[in-house]
Amino acid sequence: MAEVMKKLLSSLAIVICFSTTQADSSKPPGWAVASAHPLATEAAYWIAAQGGNAFDAAVAVSAALSVAEPMSSGIGGGGFWLLHRAKDGYETMVDGRERAPLKAHKDMYLDEDGEVVPQASLDGALAAAIPGEPAALAHIAHKYGRLDLSISLTPAIKIAANGFTVGPRFQSLTDFRKSSFNNKARRLFLDGDQVPDVGAIIRQTELASTLEEIAKHGHQGFYAGWVASTLVSEVTTAGGIWTQRDLSAYQIVERTPVRGVYRDAKFVSAALPSSGGIVLSQMLNMLQAVEAWNQERMSQLHITVEAMRRAYRDRALYLGDADFISVNQAKLLSVEYARQRISSLTDQATDSESLTKLDDKTAEGENTSHFSIIDDQGNRVGATLSINYPFGSGFVSAGTGVVLNNEMDDFVSKPGTANVYGLVGGKANAIQPGKRPLSSMSPTFVETEDFVAVLGTPGGSRIITMVLLALLELVDNHQRDVQKVVNLPRFHHQYLPDHITYESDAFDQRTTSALRARGHKLMVRERPYGDMQAVLWNLRRNELSAASDRRGEGSARVWQ
Ligand code: GLY
């Protein structure tokens, strides 16, 4: 049954293209949308029919995902919305990342001996940072949208009230996290104490009321009034440290995105507190410094892994919320620095420990959600949203139906100790009151004279290397079939743990042997990872296409 459902759902994730008779590429010939859930993609379609633009659609899709994909993102979490406004080319990143509560402190997840308390930053109300998504949606609707927020939230409110249908992905992630659910989460997402059957309907009436409150009162509908007081009371009763001051103080920040050039492509990606844009730029600068595309395939793979290793090492050492720490971004983004970092390359794998020793614990797990939109005016949105781990902290607030994130785990609980993604870090990403945890979420635009693409994916620490591989496929391999780009088999290195993780179809036996001969350690992942959503505007043919990852249950749609 699960297989049948999976096939049915994945058949929705197809590329749909069309072209106009004349190739006038000053404006796209329609809309292209790809998201991780068919109901969210349909919400964008509905918004277009109401006269909305890509920014209204981004609000509608984000809110719909928060209801129909409660394991991945939500109004109890945060995200980054990368915007391109067609009329003046203005580009910005709306930073709706969660913030640490004001009572948070750097040792809050350590025991008396200074050791990390297992699961403390992952499960329950103490793991939750102050959500940013409601503030971001109100801001985007008000500043960039054409429609009232209440219209853009309509599809999400309907989905919450009428329910969404359980699919295999919901089932498997519910099974994975159900032992951490609080009572409210169990009542909402389980059938008794069992995972619901495929086809079961999940209704979230309290969440519908919370969304209605945001529809009526905008930002204040979440951060003040009965929603805020219920959240604070629920969190503190369950051992968390939120106060009304935390909610009243939450503000989104518009940040200048990271920009770079790779060969003939310009790219735009997420700024701090996401590490995405900086790490992506560093990897691309290193590949460019040695003209990796001119090498034979094995050397290309080897160099790509070495670029990943070096960039993730810098992530661990230097990156954090730049509102709190000083980050020498100009240096990290410079071509000269990349040249110097890759100059230690040999034909053998570099030992990560020789770059700087940090702990090497590993862990599994990924979640988060991404969507990509281009509208008929050429406005673009790439947004990656998260509550961190599947179902966030596993804590649903009764009365509001909000699933709380566990984004506090993206901080470093103890320098050198790995988080749930196996990522290590140091002081730069230590917990401080009001600070935003370092993220890997990387919504990205890529542009050449031939095409414009919007892409991104969930996948924890592996997000940035997935975006890198997709970008290389577009630019180095001139791939214009966006479905092939999102379906590409993947590999990843993140400095520590010191091994290449790869999907089983990424490398054949000859490749794994050749990589081992160069000293690389390899770890195959039997389960695929990521859920990339991408749209592409082919400027030469004035054609749009959209693709949703074969690994997920999303849908892609193009219309005029
Ligand atoms: N919570 C995953 C990330 O922000 O990278």
Under 8 Å between Cβ of 10 and 550: yes
Contacts of 232 (CB under 8 A, 6+ apart): 242, 243, 244, 247
How far is Cα 483 from Cα 534, in angstroms, rounded to an integer?
A: 8
CA nearest ligand 1 atom 1, residue: 388
Ligand 1 contact, 441 CB (< 6 A): yes
Q: Quick one: pLDDT at residue 424?
A: 80
How far is Cα 285 from Cα 283, in angstroms, rounded to an integer?
A: 6
Q: CA–CA distance from 423 to each of 177, 410, 531, 537 (Å)?
A: 20, 9, 20, 35
How far is Cα 130 from Cα 433, in angstroms, rounded to an integer?
A: 11
Residue 17 predicted with pLDDT over 50:
no
Which atom of ligand 1 is closest in space to residue 386's alpha carbon?
Answer: 1
Contacts of 221 (CB under 8 A, 6+ apart): 134, 138, 213, 214, 215, 227
Q: How many CB atoms lie within 10 A of CB 543?
A: 22
Q: Quick one: pLDDT at residue 3?
A: 37
- Alpha carbons within 13 angstroms on the beta-carbon side of residue 305 total 30
Average pLDDT, the chain: 93
DSSP string, 168-217: HHHHHHHHHHGGG--HHHHHHH-BTTBPPPTT-EE--HHHHHHHHHHHHH
DSSP H or E run through 476:
none
Q: CA–CA distance from 264 to each of 257, 260, 261, 290, 434 (Å)?
A: 19, 11, 7, 16, 40
Give the distance (Å) from ligand 1 centre to CA of residue 96.
12
Give how many domains the chain has, as a whole number. 1
Which atom of ligand 1 is closest in space to residue 97's alpha carbon?
Answer: 4
Which of 168-182, 350-364, 406-420, 529-543 shows the lowest mean pLDDT across its residues?
Answer: 350-364
Q: In terms of DSSP bridges, do strands 500-503 and 522-525 run parallel, antiparallel, or are they unpaired?
A: parallel
Residue 60 predicted with pLDDT over 90:
yes
Active site residues: 368
Query: Is residue 345 helix, strand or coil?
Result: coil
Which atom of ligand 1 is closest in space to residue 437's alpha carbon?
Answer: 4
Residue 470 banded pLDDT, cuts 50, 70, 90: very high
Q: Give 496's DSSP letter.
A: S
Q: CA–CA distance from 497 to each of 81, 345, 360, 366 (Å)?
A: 30, 19, 5, 16
Q: What is the signed CA dihedral for 339, 343, 347, 352, rounded to 10 degrees?
A: -100
Ligand 1 contact, 465 CB (< 6 A): no
Structural domain containing residue 526: 1-560
Bridge partners, 385 (sequence order): 79, 369
Ligand 1 contact, 440 CB (< 6 A): yes
Q: What is the mean pLDDT of residues 487-508?
A: 97
Residue 29: cis peptide before it, omega within 30 degrees of 0: no
Q: CA–CA distance from 483 to each of 182, 370, 488, 531 (Å)?
A: 39, 15, 9, 12
Alpha helices (runs of H) in 50-182, residue ranges in sequence order = 54-68, 133-144, 149-152, 154-162, 168-177
pLDDT in tens, 151-183: 999 999 999 999 999 999 999 999 999 999 999
Bridge partners, 455 (sequence order): 444, 534
**Residue 555 — φ and ψ, nearest 5°?**
-145, 150
How far is Cα 167 from Cα 197, in angstroms, rounded to an integer?
A: 8
Ligand 1 contact, 73 CB (< 6 A): no
Give the distance (Å) from ligand 1 centre to CA of residue 8.
29
Residue 9 predicted with pLDDT over 50:
no
Closest-CA residue to 35 (of 27, 24, 43, 47)? 43
Residue 1 predicted with pLDDT over 80:
no
Which of 13-17, 369-373, 420-424 shows the lowest mean pLDDT across its residues?
Answer: 13-17
Q: Quick one: pLDDT at residue 26?
A: 87
- 99, 410, 467: residue to mutate for ligand 1 pocket, most atoms within 8 A of CB: 410
How far is Cα 341 from Cα 313, in angstroms, rounded to an integer?
A: 11
Give the distance (Å) from ligand 1 centre to CA of residue 559.
32
Give the distance (Å) from ligand 1 centre to CA of residue 30.
32
The structure tokens listed for 157 are 């409110």
Give the distance (Å) from ligand 1 centre to CA of residue 347.
33
Ligand 1 contact, 405 CB (< 6 A): no
Ligand 1 contact, 386 CB (< 6 A): yes
Which atom of ligand 1 is closest in space to residue 407's alpha carbon?
Answer: 1
